[in-house]
Chain A
Amino acid sequence: MAKVKLTVNGRAVSRDVPDTTLLSEFLREDLRLTGTHVGCDTSQCGACVVHVDGKAVKSCTMLAASASGGEVTTVEGLANGELHPMQKAFNDNHGLQCGFCTPGMIMSGVDMVNRYKQAGRELTEEAIRHELEGNICRCTGYHNIVKSIQDAATKM
């Protein structure tokens, strides 16, 4: 068993879990934060993306124990009284249909905009499409996801 201590969405949590517990499993099963989804078993689909210490991470690819001591933000922790601009942009631009990939898309989108802003680079449509390589959506054909992230980028 491993002792996992994390700050999740601003709240300190501590659990003893089997060593093999993935961060996605820890969030979903131990903390019951089921907004983080698992859509594959090869780290391809990105439905499980969360932020660990401010960086986008596929939580199905990280052991909970390796994240211990860190700060985790999940889609449940993104809104701060009101919707995050990325969440609002997904609603405004019809960037989701079934909603299953959406938490990962939103978390990747926030990370992407932050990184480009920090680097002073322009987040073009081409760049967004390239950056979304690790997030699969089966419903939207990506058209409105790209629009959502472009829209949010102007408001973040």
Chain B
Amino acid sequence: MSDGIGARVKRKEDKRFITGKGKYTDDIRVDNQAYAAFVRSTHAHARVVNLDTSAAEAMDGVIAVLNGHQLTGDGIGNIICGWAINSKDGSPMNMGAWSALATEMVRYVGDAVAVVIADTQAQARLAAEAVEVEYEELPVVVTTPDALADGAPQIHENAPGNLIYDWEIGDQAATDTAIAGASHVTEMEITNNRLSPNPMEPRSAVAIYDEGEDHYTLYTTSQNPHVARLVLSAFYNVAPEHKLRVIAPDVGGGFGSKIYIYPEEITCLWASMKTGRSVKWTSDRSEAFITDAHGRDHISTAKMGFDAAGRILGLKVDTIANFGAYMSLFSSAVPTYLYATLLSGQYNISNIHANVRAVYTNTVPVDAYRGAGRPEACYLVERMMETAAREMGMDPAELRRINFIQEFPHETPVIMTYDTGDFDGNMDKAQAAADVAGFAARKAEAAARGKLRGIGYSAYIEACGIAPSAAVGSLGAGVGLWESAEVRVNPVGTVEILTGSHSHGQGHETTFAQIVAERFGIPIDNVQVVHGDTDKVQFGMGTYGSRSGAVGMSAIVKAMDKVEAKVKKIAAHTLEASEDDIVIEGGEVKVAGTDKSMAWHEVGLAAYLAHNLPEGMEPGLKEGAFYDPVNFTFPAGVYIAEVEVDPETGVTDIVQFTAADDFGTIINPMIVEGQVHGGIAQGVGQAMLEHAVYDEDGQLLSGSYMDYCMPRADDLPSYTLDHNTTVCPNNPLGMKGCGEAGAIGTPPAIINAITDAIGNNDLAMPATPQTVWRAIQAAKAPLAAE
């Protein structure tokens, strides 16, 4: 099957995007459209003393100015975090109240206090400027260590000392003992820098209230429209689920930041009911920087103990995670079950203990961003490994190899059970593709040009295919993480796939069609993938955590199993054969070993004509399925970065970047490679360019593309990719997932390469020229003192 599994099929969805015919939320405008503009706090922490909206209300085109007291007065619920994490003493996490529009207090710059609804966007924005808010400024906490300092300003009353939880995993006593007996201990302080996700399409919402039907429609930039509907309905009391339709049309990237249900969507829906007008809001980029959930922002100390042969005896980690001013939807899970559970990396480590404290600060809420916890774990483990190798005088690849897990399934001391993998094989492929053997010569040649050349490894592993519902439920998740699909075979034989996964760049319309083409032997042009609309698709948990393949496509396979069973029954009945003898091949349904067959579309037609079906069979040919994974999946790989640093300026060029990934079965290599490319670019961004920086007053200094350094084409090399495949044993297609790998595996490879080049392991992300130059000078300092 030329369009089936493994084929580099060009994307079906491209046509509308390359011709300007995509339909994103901001492209939607309904009759009599009104516009929202938010009045946002200019202070990081303040009491709202007075809100004077009279001038704004008198302005041209203004329909209403609404505030938080009205919103809560109408019973709109507080924004919640949906994953309950208990502290190690058993106490529940300290979740502070978060209203979509603040009432008494504002806790970060950007916190919304009122909304103006007007006839045009310009009128709404002008009037928002005219709303007068009187604030009583309060002391501010910005950095993670400051949040826990004695006497730190208190951000939420119910979170004493700004502590949300103090959580642990693993055996502390055994880990301490193992490290105490080590022949070498590597210790590091590691910061994972705060990032802004920056999908290119800013968030947007169009809320439509139909008074006659008492029904709401919300177009929004969401990675999971059904989850949005569920949360808007069950927790925020905007409308009951059967009276709320959520549509996520074309969505221009997400990277996690469009998982959450933000104050703006809640407010637009409510304001639509209040004003009787459809309300539209589109963020501009400056607003995105101060309202889209940020990512990462961990500070950790870690100790890794080794025996004389370089085998790891124990790893102890203490992490503080900055959650910003409020607990966003999945924030609590990120530094716990998506981070600490991956601290075993690809290595056989008997003893691990991690302690994680989550804290409030007066900054934008922090939540999952591409990789979510797993990049932080990978960065920590892989910087420790590289540094340890240097300290022990070992080859960093060899140190990894002697510690690689060789037998599967493998249970780690941090509750993950790795199902399969070939870590040596990944390393072999990466080393061959990167020509590691030739590095010494390249380094010498670079030195002759006055450049410092370095090489750095990263052997990443991630837990994807999120996630087995019962398992995550037992760990505090407030949702099940299955996926659903419906396969509709039409009377003419064309097929519609209704999926709860959501594509915002991942190419589902092509990849999902490929597995149908493979199974039923029909052209992919005869397959339509339907997603992103709660009125069309039965249900779904959406796309994040590299789950659309391993979970979303598994649901499609399950539904196709049911379709196939019915097709065989119909064909066996029509062709007077045994069901067991029916095969589906090349668009035909045949009796094996005979010339008896039906065309695929004839079976579809027979199902709907229902003139001659087996006795008792219902007409029609459509089947639905829910698929709940039995385990996480474990994509893994080895990334090798090679850099050249100019010692005079600290300017660093990535001269070669090699990725060897094991994603299990690959449906469309072209699309998978694209996912890796994009992930690597985001990883390079974190490692060298990007940093969300606040000043001491809690003002975001990096709040525009003039200040926040997005990776651009000339910051990046072309990448060398290779694959190694071990098939995932736990889902029908053997898939592991590929969406986050690049963002997880890349940062440590880059930093390990730069630190190799400059001979100083103490280097923080982002490794800007100034940071690198300072690290070069610091490495020289002892020599200068002699």
Q: Which residues of A contact B (CB under 8 A)?
A: 18, 20, 28-29, 32-42, 44-45, 47, 74-76, 78-79, 83, 87, 90-92, 94, 96-103, 106, 125-126, 128-130, 132-133, 135-146
Q: Is the interface of B mostly helix, strand, loop or mixed?
A: loop
- The reply to whether the CB of B18 lies closer than 8 angstroms to some CB of chain A is yes
* Assembly CA distance A136 to B198 (angstroms): 10
B681 touches A141 (CB 8 A): yes
Q: How far is the CB of B688 from chain A (nearest CB, A)?
A: 14
Q: How far is the CB of B290 from chain A (nearest CB, A)?
A: 13
- The reply to whether the CB of B678 lies closer than 8 angstroms to some CB of chain A is yes
- The reply to whether the CB of B135 lies closer than 8 angstroms to some CB of chain A is no
Would you mind naming 9 contact pairs between A and B with Cβ atoms under 8 Å apart?
A: A35-B19, A35-B21, A40-B284, A41-B284, A75-B18, A96-B18, A132-B714, A136-B200, A138-B678
Residue pairs across A and B with CB atoms within 8 Å: the count is: 179
Hey, which chain B residues are within 8 Å of A135, CB to CB? 713
Stretch at the interface among B9-17, B470-478, B626-634: B9-17
A75 touches B681 (CB 8 A): no
A79 touches B19 (CB 8 A): yes
Instruction: Known A91-B11, A99-B22; judge A140-B714 contact (CB<8 A).
Output: no
* Assembly CA distance A37 to B16 (angstroms): 14
Contact of B18 among A74, A106, A136 (CB under 8 A): A106
Instruction: Known A92-B10, A141-B679, A143-B718; judge A100-B253 contact (CB<8 A).
Output: yes
Hey, which chain B residues are within 8 Å of A103, CB to CB? 20
Contact of B680 among A75, A91, A141 (CB under 8 A): A141
A45 touches B713 (CB 8 A): no
* Assembly CA distance A145 to B713 (angstroms): 9
B706 touches A44 (CB 8 A): yes
* Assembly CA distance A72 to B597 (angstroms): 57
A34 touches B714 (CB 8 A): no
Hey, which chain A residues are within 8 Å of B14, CB to CB? 90-91, 96, 99
* Assembly CA distance A99 to B201 (angstroms): 9
B705 touches A139 (CB 8 A): no
Please report the total number of B residues contacting A with Cβ < 8 Å.
57
Q: Other than A96-B18, A97-B507, give 8 A-B pairs with Cβ distance below 8 A.
A: A42-B706, A91-B11, A94-B670, A129-B713, A132-B714, A141-B681, A141-B682, A142-B711
- The reply to whether the CB of B505 lies closer than 8 angstroms to some CB of chain A is yes
B20 touches A97 (CB 8 A): no
B20 touches A74 (CB 8 A): yes
* Assembly CA distance A76 to B504 (angstroms): 21
B22 touches A94 (CB 8 A): no
- The reply to whether the CB of B719 lies closer than 8 angstroms to some CB of chain A is yes
* Assembly CA distance A10 to B563 (angstroms): 50
A34 touches B20 (CB 8 A): yes
* Assembly CA distance A35 to B251 (angstroms): 14
Instruction: Known A87-B19, A130-B714, A144-B677; judge A98-B122 contact (CB<8 A).
Output: no
Contact of B710 among A20, A33, A138 (CB under 8 A): A138
Hey, which chain B residues are within 8 Å of A41, CB to CB? 284-286, 704
B713 touches A146 (CB 8 A): yes
Contact of B505 among A98, A126, A136 (CB under 8 A): A98
Hey, which chain B residues are within 8 Å of A32, CB to CB? 29
Find the B residue at minimum CB distance from A91: B14
A98 touches B201 (CB 8 A): yes
Q: How far is the CB of A91 from chain B (nearest CB, A)?
A: 4
Find the B residue at minimum CB distance from A147: B718
Q: How far is the CB of A147 from chain B (nearest CB, A)?
A: 8
Find the B residue at minimum CB distance from A145: B713
Instruction: Known A42-B704, A125-B718; judge A97-B712 contact (CB<8 A).
Output: no
Find the A residue at minimum CB distance from B12: A91
- The reply to whether the CB of B211 lies closer than 8 angstroms to some CB of chain A is no
Hey, which chain A residues are within 8 Å of B202, CB to CB? 38-39
* Assembly CA distance A87 to B504 (angstroms): 20
Q: How far is the CB of B684 from chain A (nearest CB, A)?
A: 8
Contact of B20 among A35, A39, A138 (CB under 8 A): A35
Find the A residue at minimum CB distance from B24: A100
* Assembly CA distance A38 to B121 (angstroms): 15
* Assembly CA distance A96 to B680 (angstroms): 16
* Assembly CA distance A138 to B258 (angstroms): 14
* Assembly CA distance A44 to B27 (angstroms): 21
Q: How far is the CB of B600 from chain A (nearest CB, A)?
A: 28
A94 touches B674 (CB 8 A): yes
Find the A residue at minimum CB distance from B253: A98
Instruction: Known A39-B200, A141-B677; judge A98-B252 contact (CB<8 A).
Output: yes
Hey, which chain B residues are within 8 Å of A36, CB to CB? 20
Q: How far is the CB of B582 from chain A (nearest CB, A)?
A: 37
For A36, A42, A91, A138, the residue with the greatest tally of chain B CB atoms inside 10 Å of its CB is A138
* Assembly CA distance A33 to B198 (angstroms): 24
Contact of A75 among B20, B285, B682 (CB under 8 A): B20
A90 touches B253 (CB 8 A): no
Find the A residue at minimum CB distance from B197: A138
Find the A residue at minimum CB distance from B506: A97
**B275-293 interface (Cβ within 8 A of A):** 284-286
Hey, which chain B residues are within 8 Å of A33, CB to CB? 20
Hey, which chain B residues are within 8 Å of A45, CB to CB? 200, 285, 705
Q: How far is the CB of B262 from chain A (nearest CB, A)?
A: 18
* Assembly CA distance A61 to B146 (angstroms): 41
Q: How far is the CB of A108 from chain B (nearest CB, A)?
A: 10
B712 touches A94 (CB 8 A): no
Q: How far is the CB of B680 from chain A (nearest CB, A)?
A: 5
Hey, which chain B residues are within 8 Å of A78, CB to CB? 19
Contact of A98 among B504, B680, B682, B704 (CB under 8 A): B504
Q: How far is the CB of B461 from chain A (nearest CB, A)?
A: 21
Hey, which chain B residues are within 8 Å of A38, CB to CB? 26, 202, 284
For A40, A125, A136, A145, the residue with the greatest tally of chain B CB atoms inside 10 Å of its CB is A40
Hey, which chain A residues are within 8 Å of B198, CB to CB? 138
Hey, which chain A residues are within 8 Å of B285, CB to CB? 39-42, 45
- The reply to whether the CB of B716 lies closer than 8 angstroms to some CB of chain A is yes
A140 touches B677 (CB 8 A): yes
Q: How far is the CB of B220 from chain A (nearest CB, A)?
A: 15
Hey, which chain B residues are within 8 Å of A140, CB to CB? 674, 677-678, 681
- The reply to whether the CB of B637 lies closer than 8 angstroms to some CB of chain A is no
Hey, which chain A residues are within 8 Å of B504, CB to CB? 98
Hey, which chain A residues are within 8 Å of B10, CB to CB? 91-92, 94
- The reply to whether the CB of B199 lies closer than 8 angstroms to some CB of chain A is yes
Hey, which chain B residues are within 8 Å of A133, CB to CB? 712-714
* Assembly CA distance A40 to B678 (angstroms): 20
Hey, which chain A residues are within 8 Å of B13, CB to CB? 99
B24 touches A37 (CB 8 A): yes
Q: How far is the CB of A76 from chain B (nearest CB, A)?
A: 4
Hey, which chain B residues are within 8 Å of A34, CB to CB? 20, 23-24, 26-27
A97 touches B286 (CB 8 A): no
* Assembly CA distance A38 to B251 (angstroms): 14
B24 touches A94 (CB 8 A): no
A138 touches B19 (CB 8 A): no
A97 touches B718 (CB 8 A): no
A98 touches B18 (CB 8 A): no
Find the B residue at minimum CB distance from A32: B29
Find the A residue at minimum CB distance from B708: A44
* Assembly CA distance A130 to B714 (angstroms): 5
Hey, which chain B residues are within 8 Å of A138, CB to CB? 198-200, 253, 255, 678, 681-682, 710
* Assembly CA distance A85 to B714 (angstroms): 24
For A101, A129, A139, the residue with the greatest tally of chain B CB atoms inside 10 Å of its CB is A139
Find the B residue at minimum CB distance from A102: B17
B679 touches A98 (CB 8 A): no
- The reply to whether the CB of B250 lies closer than 8 angstroms to some CB of chain A is yes
- The reply to whether the CB of B516 lies closer than 8 angstroms to some CB of chain A is no
- The reply to whether the CB of B745 lies closer than 8 angstroms to some CB of chain A is no
- The reply to whether the CB of B542 lies closer than 8 angstroms to some CB of chain A is no
